Amino acid sequence: MKKILGVLLAIITVIFVGGKIYTDILVERVEVEYPPVSFVTVENVRLHYLEAGSGPPVVLISGGSGKLQDFSLSPLYELIVNKYRVIIIDRPGLGYSEKPSNEEVSPDVQARLIHAALEKLGVENPIIVGQSWGGVIALAYAQSYSNELSGIVLLGSSPYPRERHTDFFNVIARTPIIGDFILHTLYVPIGRHWVAPAIMEQNKDYFAPLEAVPESYYDSTIELGLRPSHVKASAEETIIIPASLATLVSDLEKVNLPVIIVAGDLDTHAFEQAVRLEQDLPISRVVIVEGANHYLWFSKPEVVMDTIQELWDWSEEFVYPE
User: What CATH number is given to the structural domain containing 50?
Assistant: 3.40.50.1820
Report the pLDDT value the prediction gives residue 295, as an integer from 0 to 100.
97
Structural contact between residues 280 and 249, judged by C-beta atoms closer than 8 angstroms: yes
Question: Rounded mean pLDDT of 62-73?
Answer: 96
Q: Which residues pair with 85 in a beta bridge?
A: 57
Domain assignment of residue 224, yes or no:
yes
- Give the CA distances from residue 132 to residues 167, 202, 242, 299, in Å, rounded to whole numbers and listed in that order: 18, 18, 12, 15
| The pairing of beta strand 151-155 with beta strand 284-289 | unpaired
Structural contact between residues 30 and 23, judged by C-beta atoms closer than 8 angstroms: no
Cα-Cα-Cα-Cα dihedral sign, residues 58, 64, 68, 74: negative
Domain assignment of residue 7, yes or no:
no
Structural contact between residues 184 and 23, judged by C-beta atoms closer than 8 angstroms: yes
Whether the link from the prior residue into 301 is cis, omega within 30° of 0, is no
Domain assignment of residue 321, yes or no:
no
- 140: how many CB neighbours lie within 10 A of its CB? 28
Q: Which residues pair with 285 in a beta bridge?
A: 260
Domain that holds residue 301: 32-315
Q: Residue 252 and residue 49: Cα distance in Å, rounded?
A: 28
Domain assignment of residue 129, yes or no:
yes
Domain assignment of residue 16, yes or no:
no
Q: Among 162, 165, 166, 167, which Cα is nearest to 269's?
A: 162
Domains identified in the chain, total number? 1
Domain assignment of residue 26, yes or no:
no
Provide the 3-class DSSP secondary structure of residue 44: coil
pLDDT in tens, 273-318: 999 999 999 999 999 999 999 999 999 999 999 999 999 999 998 8
* Element at 275 (helix H, strand E): helix 268-280
pLDDT in tens, 143-161: 999 999 999 999 999 999 9
Q: Residue 62 and residue 294: Cα distance in Å, rounded?
A: 12
Report the pLDDT value the prediction gives residue 320, as an integer from 0 to 100.
77
What's the whole-number average pLDDT of the chain? 95
Q: Where residue 322 falls among pLDDT bands split at 50, 70, 90? A: low
| CA 185 to chain centroid | 25
Domain assignment of residue 299, yes or no:
yes
